[in-house]
Amino acid sequence: MASNTSKTARASVRAGESKGGAQTVLGEFKYIIPLNQGKHAYVRNLLNGKTTHMSTSSEQFIEEIRALAAAGHATKIRAELSNLDSVYPTQGWGDTEKRLLEAGVFEAAA
């Protein structure tokens, strides 16, 4: 399997899957795999099949979630963010969701 994803990235995704980090939400794979106490995440983009590592405070993160929300995944992503906030309350997932709301990410999907 040739891939330009590092061994560490692939191992992290596999570890997330085995520990419940990639459990299903509403019958689908999770879109967000938390890293570094919520400061970074792998975002699974089902539109292009790529899993991208990014900072949760970056514009790139907002745009990636916006694209997924516009494609009809907004409800599932919001459920996932709420779940992350309840499972990891000290990691700022509620703030991340608020930042996405303020950026109007989920409005386009409504």
pLDDT tens per residue across all 110 residues of the chain: 455 767 777 766 665 554 444 444 445 578 999 999 999 999 998 888 899 999 999 999 999 999 999 999 999 999 999 999 999 999 999 999 999 999 999 885 55
In the prediction, which pLDDT does 107 show? 82
Alpha helices in 1-110 (DSSP H): 7-18, 59-68, 74-87, 93-102
Range of the domain at 92: 7-102
CB atoms closer than 10 angstroms to residue 87: 12
Task: Yes or no: say if 88 and 39 are a contact pair by the CB < 8 Å rule.
Answer: no
Task: Report if residue 86 sits inside a domain.
Answer: yes
How many domains are there within the chain? 1
Q: Is residue 79 part of a domain?
A: yes
Residue 108 belongs to a domain = no
User: Looking up tokens 């309350």, which residue turns up?
Assistant: 89
- pLDDT of the residue at 20: 45
Among candidate residues 73, 82, 64, the one with its CA nearest the CA of residue 110: 73
Q: What is the pLDDT of residue 85?
A: 94
Q: Is residue 1 part of a domain?
A: no
| Residue 107 covered by a domain | no
